Amino acid sequence: MVQRLKQISAATAPSAPLATPLIEELELIAQGYPDLDIRCACPVGLSLILDRNALATVLGELLDNARAHGRAANGETSLLLSATESATEIRISVSDSGAGFVTEQVEHFFDPFFTSKLNQGHIGIGAYIAKSVARDALGASLALQTATSGTTVSLHLPKP
Name the superfamily (CATH) of residues 2-158.
Answer: Histidine kinase-like ATPase, C-terminal domain (3.30.565.10)
Q: Output the pTM of the full model.
A: 0.83
- Supply φ then ψ for residue 111, to 5 degrees: -75, 140
How far apart are alpha carbons 148 and 105 in whole angstroms? 13
User: What is the separation, in whole angstroms, between the first and last Cα of the chain?
Assistant: 37
Percentage of residues in the chain having pLDDT higher than 70: 80
How far apart are alpha carbons 87 and 94 in whole angstroms? 21
pLDDT band at 97 (very low <50, low <70, confident <90, very high): confident
Domain boundary assignment for the chain = 2-158
What is the reported pLDDT for 34? 92
- Supply φ then ψ for residue 154, to 5 degrees: -115, 135
CA max distance for the chain: 44
Give residue-wise pLDDT tens across range 52-78. 899 999 999 999 888 877 776 666 778
